[in-house]
Structure 1
Amino acid sequence: MTETGTPGAAAGLDARLVVERGPFHLDVTLAAAPGDVVALLGPNGAGKTTALRALAGLVPLSAGHLRLDGAELDGTPPESRPVGVVFQDYLLFPHLSALDNVAFGPRCHGASRAAARAQAAVWLERLDLTAHASAKPRRLSGGQAQRVALARALATHPRLLLLDEPLAALDARTRLEVRAQLRHHLAEFEAVAVLVTHDPLDAMVLADRLVVVEDGRIVQEGTPAHIARHPRTDYIAHLVGLNLYRGEAEGHTVRVEGGAEVTTTEDLTGPVFVAFPPSAVTLHRDRPTGSSARNLWRCEVAGLETHGDQIRAALTGPLPLAADLTTIAAAELDLHPGATVWATVKATQTHAYPA
């Protein structure tokens, strides 16, 4: 087993992951203290899974470093690292019971069969799985299998816990319940946890800090609340459900790319982002008169789709927009692709911040 580091060395994760794989280049820096839960968030192909596999030792670093509790892990075999992994498909051993799946880790670390099974029983009890100790994976529900995989990863007392899309294999109803359970267990975990996901809700609920990766690079990092309030790329804005534009501010006016102007309550100068939610957009078939909204644009409906219990309209014009409205409002406006509408947004519902 890898030593945990030298006396006085910084606890937690300190890594710069540089991986060259053909034309793809990953260069991501991660730092986290014990007790932190960090989510790597990004589109498919961004490099999230490559980063996770590099942390696990399954992909070699081309450059950079990987330190855990002060110990250098680069070059250490995966099985010798104090790292636990929960894979997307859980990868439980189909011929072993839930108890023996969890006991597998301690056995690999030298525990006797009896001691390993005793440790496994404790973890199954912690995750409310005692009643399923003798069940084979095929007899477990998706949520139960996910918790067995988590127990197996935790049974070796890892200093770094890696979770690769841990809720992706679950149906929507089970996902809600298991997400709440996982949040509870991660809150009790005393070492570093790194979660890879493309689901913004998983990231926002489970993580203390988000690291957003696009094209192998970090494009933004911060708390979920900060990123939701201050998106810096179209990908992030889409995830958190905002209309986002970049432009030049002069006082309360932001001139965005393409020439359209947005009036805001913030008084800024220079390069800025300006954002507002689709729910802030009000649509009219005729140009409104007497409206208190400071922002008004003539647009064309490019498409309509169901979005939860509402209709989301994609609009083209001087400012490409997404607008949310009720089904009744969409019917009353007789919205259809090609229809001309007027869109208004109150300045108080916009948010501008330095780019």
Structure 2
Amino acid sequence: MDDGGGRVTDGLDARLVVRRGDFLLDVALTAAPGEVVALLGPNGAGKTTALRALAGLTPLDDGHLLLDGRELSALPAENRPVGVVFQDYLLFPHLSALDNVAFGLRCRGLSRREARAEAARRLERMGLERHATARPRRLSGGQAQRVALARALATRPRLLLLDEPLAALDARTRLETRAALRRHLEEFEAVAVLVTHDPLDAMVLADRLVVVESGRVVQTGTPDLVARRPRTDYVARLVGLNLYRGTASGHRVRVDGGGREAGAGAGAGVFAVTVTVTEELSGEVFVAFPPSAVTLHRERPAGTSARNVWRCRVAGMESHGDRVRADLTGELPMAADLTTVSAAELGLAPGGEVWATVKAGQTHAYPAE
């Protein structure tokens, strides 16, 4: 709901401005009740600072923090209708799972009996009723995460904050716990904000992504939109795409920065590089294609259906099972994926020269603004 002045009265409406030395966080964040928003970004981007500001653990230097139309920025953390699941869960080691969940309820004024009864119901919903008497050291990582979530939800917060909630789990437990967490978040009726650097966690758990770099929002949208149309190199790497910015004229895009001959030194001349695309556009655009769309050749291919051919040099290689990721420099720097068999047949090795081709139909161009 809007208050008539452009601000949301239900859910979250915040502008978080925090100064820490030379670092400035300035992030606008909105979310409707029932929506899960993921703050995604590299280490040092400001994600945790934003979460701490929402929780009341770090004061704002400017901006506002409205939750359901109520300004929270002046309220101490303990008086905010906010639940937090920390990265290491911060369960009280001397308390059972039941009493950990009941703790926040006791702080809100419930009697011990009432708090423990509600805590038992929360643990049952998490499938943890058989572990109610266990202390944290007897719980698995996934069980501890669910106890921390139950504790955060028990007080019925209007804002749930999750700080890298799956980071401490091994791969198998992470998969199972992610699915369980998704189910619980789907049932949560208020706002949930997830902080993560893991793109899969963000894609699976969130309804909307807010990508933060260097204290600023650089992209926002649904997981599908962000994955299809990355707008920074960081996002492109996360979703596994080669990304370039340039100027389009019809079906050809002149890539910003030009190109350089494969193996040429720093003093070599720079020339224009173009990418042929299926879309017909004009003006500033992004062009993206996956590493799997790149085909490598020892000699310049003749008679190929690919409209894009570039001379490159292998800068490095990484093996991933039966696949090889080659990092290429030269006329158009890119990553290329190929099978180990293909890499062996090509005699692919760091320093080697190759020709890279990409069909126009495997590129994707879209406006930069």
Q: Equivalents in 1 of 2:62, 2:73: separation in Å?
A: 10
C-alpha displacement at 1:227, in angstroms?
A: 0.5
What is the SS of the residue equivalent to 2:26?
A: strand
Match of 1:280 in 2: 293
Q: What is the percentage of aligned positions where both structures have the same residue?
A: 77
* Residue pairs, 1:1-355, within 5 angstroms: 10-257=9-256, 258=258, 259-307=272-320, 309-355=322-368
Q: CA RMSD in A?
A: 1.2
Provide the C-alpha distance between the structure 2 equivalents of 1:26 and 1:321, rounded to a whole number of angstroms. Answer: 32
**Structure 1 221/308 Cα, relative in aligned 2: closer, same or farther at 3 Å?**
farther
What is the TM-score of this pair, normalised by structure 1?
0.97
**Mean Cα deviation higher: 119-128 or 300-309:** 300-309
Question: TM-score, normalising length from structure 2?
Answer: 0.93
Stretch of structure 1 that moved more, 46-55 or 250-259:
250-259
Letter in 2 for 1:181: A
The letter for the 1-side match of 2:358 is V
Displacement, 1:145? 0.4
Poorly superposed stretches of 4+, deviation over 6 Å: none
Instruction: State the SS of the aligned residue for 1:99.
Output: helix
Structure 1 residue aligned with 2:262: none
Corresponding residue SS for 2:235: helix
Q: 2-side partners of 1:47 and 1:314: how far apart? A: 29
1:29 partner SS:
strand
| Cα-to-partner distance string for 1:203-236 (whole Å, 9 max, x where unaligned) | 0000000000001000000000000011010000
Write the letter of the residue equivalent to 1:279: S
Q: Matched residues in 2 for 1:105 and 1:307: separation?
A: 46
| Matching residue's letter, 1:190 | E
Q: Hey, what's the Cα distance between the residues in 1 that align with 2:72 and 2:308?
A: 55
Count of equivalent residues: 349
Whole-angstrom CA distance in 2 between matches of 1:151 and 1:317: 53
Q: Which amino acid aligns with 1:332?
A: E
Secondary structure of the corresponding residue to residue 244 of structure 1: strand
SS of 1:125's equivalent?
helix
User: Residues of 2 paired with 1:307 and 1:65: CA distance?
Assistant: 46
> Aligned to 1:95, what secondary structure does the other structure show?
coil
Aligned amino acid, residue 158 of structure 1:
P
C-alpha distance in 2, partners of 1:186/1:57?
22
Distance 1:204 1:211 in 2: 11
In the alignment, residue 124 of structure 2 is paired with which amino acid? E
Task: Tell me how far apart the structure 2 counterparts of residues 338 and 180 of structure 1 sit (CA, whole Å).
Answer: 43
Give me the whole-angstrom Cα distance separating, in 1, the residues matched to 2:322 and 2:223.
25
1:9, CA displacement in angstroms?
A: 7.4
Mean alpha-carbon deviation: is it higher for 28-37 or for 306-315?
306-315
Q: CA deviation at 1:306?
A: 2.2
1-structure distance, mates of 2:237, 2:219: 14
Deviation at 1:307, TM superposition (A): 3.6
